[in-house]
Amino acid sequence: MKTITQRELAARSKAVLDEVEAGEVYRITRNGTEIAEVRPISARRRFVPVAELQRKWRTAPKVDSAEMRREADEFFGSEDRVGDDDPWEQR
């Protein structure tokens, strides 16, 4: 863990955040008092496995497209739609 001042963080924020992304933890001080800690987010993932997406999709709540269309028309107004092709309409 490293300790830096607020001013140093402002002056070299890109370098500090690059180090945080690589796993470093920083404590930030202002007038000699620690005020914050900057650390990497531990749960960050670059991809989600297909099996997990499939599992989440199967357990997701069902969407009532007619109700969604009614709510969208109520909120946005149906007169502003462009064209006759309604993407919300089930075929």
Q: Please tell me the distance from the alpha carbon of residue 66 to that of residue 68, in angstroms, as a whole number.
A: 5
The answer to whether residues 32 and 57 belong to one domain is: no
pTM strictly above 0.85: no
pLDDT of 91 > 70? The answer is no
Q: Which among 34, 5, 38 is positioned nearest to 19, based on CA atoms?
A: 38
30: domain CATH number? Answer: 3.40.1620
The pLDDT value given to residue 46:
74
91 within domain boundaries: no
Please give the mean pLDDT across all residues of the chain: 87
pLDDT of 50 > 70? The answer is yes
16 within domain boundaries: yes
89 within domain boundaries: no
The pLDDT value given to residue 90:
61
For 38, residues 6+ apart whose C-beta sits below 8 A from its C-beta are 9, 16, 17, 20, 25, 26, 27, 28
Q: What number is the average pLDDT over the span 12-21?
A: 94
22 within domain boundaries: yes
The answer to whether residues 7 and 32 belong to one domain is: yes
Q: When comparing pLDDT for 10 and 72, which is higher? A: 10
Q: Domain of 54?
A: 50-77
Q: Please tell me the distance from the alpha carbon of residue 28 to that of residue 35, in angstroms, as a whole number.
A: 6
